[in-house]
Structure 1
Amino acid sequence: MKGRPELRNVPRFLFGQSMGGAIALKVHLKEPQAWDGLILVAPMCKISEDVKPPKLVLNALILMSTLFPKAKLFPKKDMSELFFRDPSKRKLSDYDVICYDDQTRLKTAVELLNATRDIEMQVDKVSLPLLILHGAADRVTDPNVSKFLHEQAISQDKTLKLYPGGYHCILEGDTDENIFTVINDIVAWLDARTTPK
């Protein structure tokens, strides 16, 4: 977009869901002035303390990841029940081409921990207009982490929306009515920040 003159004055927003939320945050932190806003859906921006391994185990995993980076030590399990609230949409998860469907490699797990640790240490530098949307019943990324981000971000324009009963995939794994509610909330937020006054 930066290289296209006809798009220079078009507002630019970052959007990220789950791990994509971590990526969007990292992009913003790297180029804080390059964007006009940030929309995060169930962002993975901090590992909740209750799921983080003990320090001794974590250090062992870090060491092992340097020796066996491609090792798949974590058992593969069907996570669709945690992702999709609507049972009919769980069946469609097998066809989701952007969803990684294999055991997590050890080095990948360590890098995810590193990325979230880096974000957690810089969360007070999040300065863009910010919309965070999260299913209140999400057990993949903790809604309390979104609350933490909302509280710690220095942005003067920040909104947190928690959806009662919503699981991790509130944009594709819920009832159609709830999905449209989330989409409408995003569109309304964008309209309020892009429509000339």
Structure 2
Amino acid sequence: MNIELDEGALTKRASAGPSLYFTSAMPKSGVKAVLGILHGYADYGARYAHVMGALAEHGIGSVTIDMRGHGRAGGTRGYCNRFDEFLDDARELKSLVRDRAKGAPTFLFGHSFGGLVATMSALAEPAPWNGLILSAPFFGLALEVPRVKILAGKVASRLYPKLGLPSGLAGKDLTHDVERANAYDGDPLVFPNATARWFTEAVAAQERALATIPRLTMPLYMVFGTADKVASFSQGKRLFDAAGSKDKTFDPREGLFHEVLNEPSWKEIVDPMARWMLAHV
């Protein structure tokens, strides 16, 4: 495949924070668009390598970063002082995308928690994105969290912000692909805990997203598995419907789990996504 691959530590940042790690896959010629990818919680960029390769077949380059506290980036695993630190990381991704696009159209993609970050980033700084693509965005949990647990989380966030509680995520709950599920469970870069501060910051960001999503005007594409056990399908559809974008596409995938791009049918999701991007260049 005629693709130029690159990866490495991003130590020189425009904003304060730990070092990040980037991965890019660019067609060696004829770049039609470039996609910036934001991974989910306890996730990291290299897990999207198969997606990046498939996009390159369409002439679409892609760049992803490991956000702070994830993958090969610096920082405490799964921790942030405030949600806006992830928006700083998204700005670093935007800079990488711009450098590689060289004037070609650009799009922003976010999966799960990365979808929440991507949404808030696009709302705050819509330029230069031609469109926003969300995969199972984390606008709410699939299972309702008892109010007492939320209150306990807020107390822990103030007193013990780095306290890690089991996230309960297992590969079998993310994809029907047994091989990929087992790879997730055995991946040393995936971690099993959610910190108290991250949780309360994520919940607060979800509330802001619901309040501000009507301001989103760029083209929007959202794909969601109807059997998602992690992110709330109904809450995702609610925010999709509330988005101010006049050009928007909702792509429900019957029976699929949270990581739709790691399901056996992932290629059947990437190809329409690529065609959507090329229709918006």
Query: What is the aligned partner in structure 1 of residue 8 from structure 2?
Result: none
| Structure 1 runs of 4+ with >4 Å offset | 1-8, 95-98
Instruction: Give me the CA root mean square deviation.
Output: 2.3
Residues 9-158 of structure 1 correspond to what in structure 2 (within 5 A)?
9-47=103-141, 51-54=144-147, 56-72=148-164, 74-75=165-166, 77-94=168-185, 96=187, 100-158=190-248
Secondary structure of 1:193's counterpart equals coil
Q: Contact between 1:46 and 1:116, CA under 8 Å: does it hold in 2?
A: yes
CA contact (8 A) 1:2 1:8 kept: no
- After superposition, the Cα gap between the structure-2 partners of 1:186 and 1:65, relative to the gap in structure 1 and judged at 3 Å, is same
- Tell me, in whole angstroms, the C-alpha distance in 2 between the residues paired with 1:190 and 1:108: 32
* 2:280 alignment counterpart: 193
Quickly say closer, same or farther: Cα 1:115–1:154, change in 2 above 3 A.
Answer: same
Query: Could you say which structure has the higher strand fraction?
Result: 2
TM-fit CA distance, 1:97: 6.5
Contact 2:115 2:137 in 1 (8 A): yes
Sequence identity percentage: 27
CA offsets 1:81-110 (integer angstroms, 9 cap, x no match) = 211112222111135566x41221111111
TM-score normalised by structure 2 residue count: 0.61
Q: Number of residue pairs matched?
A: 187
Offset, 1:32: 2.4
Query: More helix per residue: 1 or 2?
Result: 1
What are structure 1's unaligned runs of at least 5 residues?
none
Stretches of structure 2 that go unaligned for 5 or more consecutive residues are 1-93
- Separation of aligned partners in 1, 2:157 and 2:276: 41
Residue 97 to residue 13, structure 1, CA distance change in 2 (3 Å): farther
SS in 2 for 1:161: strand
Higher RCO (Cα < 8 Å, 6 or more apart): 1
The CA deviation at 1:2 is: 6.1
Contact 2:220 2:248 in 1 (8 A): yes
Q: Which residue number in structure 2 is paired with residue 164 of structure 1?
A: 254
